[in-house]
Chain A
Amino acid sequence: MSDLFQIIDPSGKKVGKAPRLKKTILIHMFQAMVRTRAFDDRCMKLQRTGKIGFSVPNRGIEASSVGCAAALDATKDIVAPHYRDFGIMLYHGISPERMMDTMFGNVDDTAVGRQMPVHFSFENPLRYLSISSPLGTQIPQAVGMAMAMQRRDEKGVALTTFGDGSTSTSGFHSGMNFAGVFQTPVVFFCQNNQWAISCASADQTASESYAIKGEAYGVPGVRVDGNDVLAVYQVVAEAVKLARNGGGPTLIEALTFRMGGHSTSDDPTKYVDADLMKEWEAKDPIMRFRAYLLDAGHMTKKEAEAMEADAAEEVLAAARAAGAKGVPPLDSVFGDVFEEMPAHLKVQRDFALHHYSSRGEGVNDKGEFPL
């Protein structure tokens, strides 16, 4: 149980049998990881310069996200994510600009500016369920979505991601328990990044691992090196295959490290030992996969550098485009509460529109009202 499945060691050396993946897929995985880091870096800068209100660092967890993503079939499968998984979206072709729209909460944000940054919702090209701030709530929901696919015999799988802290929530317990009882086609992916804000993994549970928690629910548990994208891909692909073929759920624990704060509002130097941070820097998932791909001759150093530069440029352009868009109209505050707007909300909407227009506020930059 405590064995950590690994294919590439931290130096980039192959230590296990690599999955049979086409070169184009391997490069796509690398690109998604690079874009994840570029997106993360840019969001940190946008927040520090006051352009956006909030972000959650993704540095260090890129292999976990992308390894998961690469094992999914976007035409069939569903993701019920937590908030620290930019790479899943980027791998599946959700553009940096669409993601930036949510970071800015602008008029094109799928959440219509109603949620904080990072709380994405997408359905195309991948069903990526609207993210919630309360933790673990998506876990039983993933089981329900999987159960619906099971009932319709669609061979689809729901993958739900969550951090190590979320294994302490009631949602983890009820989701795992229901999935075990009903043998639903779901993959539980615990991104053990070792910190729940400031609570270290060792203080989160007395279990010898997170994967072992599956045993109590009759759900097989697997531990994988979360900084090894091929190993993550391999274990998720096996779990997805099992679920797709009616073999029930799997709990995967990917051991990784959050190389930053919980969010932009957090200072991890107060509680993360600097030496520990250094130790994990040496296990960086991108450097590792980069070394592996170079060594295998799948890309040249020059090509890798070009991909890195392109990613940074693409993300910067996305941020500029999203930042230039206006905010959602004022009446969007009152939409989507129910499918049909009830009378009391119409009254409140009309009040807001009238009140703010009479104060000369709520007017967009073209001087039009409502916003």
Chain B
Amino acid sequence: MTALTLVQAVNDGLRTAMGGDDTVMVLGEDVGLKGGVFLATDGLTKEFGEDRCFDTPLSEDGIVGVGIGLAMNGMRPVCEIQFQDFIFPAFDQIVSEAAKMRYRSGGMYTVPMVIRTPYGGGIRGGLYHSQSGEAYFAHTPGLKVVVPSTPYDAKGLLIAAIEDPDPVLFLEPKALYRAFREEVPEGYYTVPLSKTRNAREGNDLVIYCWGAMVPVCAEAADRIAESRGKQVRVVDLRTLMPLDEEAVLEAVRECGRAVVVQEAPRFCGYASEISAMLAEHAVEYLEAPVKRVTGFDTPFPNTLENYYMPDARRVIDAVEQVLDF
């Protein structure tokens, strides 16, 4: 075991996957000798050679389009999109091609590919280095969407994503890249996709969250425990598509009150899907309306980003309203 940051765990996951399978290859902008702008691919070109980890031209639809071709022809590409904000030129390749290839060819052609990309705010990145676009992608049939929130999960989920037979969008919370360290086993292990994890235990209320919002919600839960003696469960969804719906519903059945927290804008966000799910399938267990804590329905601001992103205080306010309903 070594104490790693989340981005180091991503690097370790890539190295482990590449070491175990010659078909795994990494491509993207500046992923080679530079090792990526966040150093997620640091040292991979040196260790595995330019055939396995290489820089591409500055073209997101090229990176993903070429990645799809590699995946359809026996390779396991891991594409890096430098910031999730830059993924949209590749939206057509992801949504119309990677996600639909298995379906439209009756399983003849498949795309076992991972697209890794740092998402979310917290680095003063403004409109174009801060977005949380998970809802666009979770809405697309045929695409898996995974969001780790800890170094242990980042490595284990990434290896599981690389081994997965379907295309996976792997959203890395850049705010957590170097936020803390955690013991991470050396070598190979996986964390299964489509399984939630409880970041805090409790039965008085459940908070659903993912990625960079997990530590925010965990802090809120700790402070509520201290101030009111209420035990708030924090469920880290980890995989947004396909979601472990049973685990989501079981948590609300046990807790009776729910808050959903996302960094992304509110309207049609992923939190809305969770809210609808609870309303549709668990209304008899609810003792209060479900409340969402989200970013605002504005583009992501730069100077005032701390007022945009939900923090523990905003989560606590929502939790108290639901507890006091």
Contacts and interface: CB of A to CB of B under 8 A. Distances in A.
Interface of A: 78, 80, 109-112, 114-115, 119, 121-123, 129-130, 132, 134, 137, 139-149, 151-152, 158, 170-171, 173-175, 177-178, 181, 335-339, 342-345
Interface string B228-263: 000000000000001101100000000000000000
Given A141-B72, A141-B97, A144-B65, A110 B59 contact: no
6 contacts: A144-B66, A148-B70, A152-B74, A178-B62, A336-B106, A342-B194
A339 B105 contact: no
A338 B145 CA distance: 13
Interface stretch (B88-96, B172-180, B207-215): B88-96
B130 interface: no
A310 to B, nearest CB: 30
A132 B142 contact: no
A140 B108 CA distance: 19
A143 B106 contact: no
Contacts of B110: 339
B61 A171 contact: yes
Interface in B172-227: 194
B109 A343 contact: no
A308 B108 CA distance: 33
B93 A129 contact: no
A129 B109 contact: yes
Contacts of B89: 170
A173 B59 CA distance: 9
A129 B72 contact: yes
Contacts of A109: 106
B61 A174 contact: yes
A144 B67 contact: yes
Contacts of B106: 109-112, 114, 121, 336
A145 B243 contact: no
B66 A141 contact: yes
Interface residues of B, number: 45
B122 interface: no
Contacts of B75: 148, 151
The 4 closest A-B pairs by CB, nearest first: A144-B69, A140-B65, A174-B62, A342-B242
B109 to A, nearest CB: 5
B310 to A, nearest CB: 27
A147 B243 contact: no
Contact of B108 (A78, A121, A158): A121
B56 interface: yes
Contact of A146 (B56, B69, B107, B109): B69
Nearest to A143: B66
Contact of B62 (A114, A177, A335, A342): A177
Interface string B137-159: 00001101000000000000000
Interface in B66-80: 66-75, 77
B68 A144 contact: yes
A337 B142 contact: yes
Interface of B: 25, 51, 56-57, 59, 61-62, 64-75, 77, 89, 92-93, 96-97, 101-110, 141-142, 144, 165-166, 194, 242-243, 245-246
Contacts of B243: 344
B108 A142 contact: no
Nearest to A343: B245
Contacts of B108: 110, 121-123, 130
A114 B73 CA distance: 23
B101 A137 contact: no
A174 B68 CA distance: 13
B97 A178 contact: no
Contact of A338 (B72, B109, B166): B166
Contacts of B194: 342
Contact of B97 (A132, A145, A148, A152): A132
B145 to A, nearest CB: 12
Given A134-B92, A337-B142, A151 B66 contact: no
Contacts of B72: 129, 141, 144-145
A137 B92 CA distance: 8
Nearest to A146: B69
B86 to A, nearest CB: 14
B69 A145 contact: yes
B66 A121 contact: no
Contacts of A146: 69
Contacts of A345: 242
Contacts of B141: 337
Contact of A137 (B73, B93, B144): B93
Contacts of A174: 57, 59, 61-62, 65-66
B313 to A, nearest CB: 34
Contacts of A123: 108-109
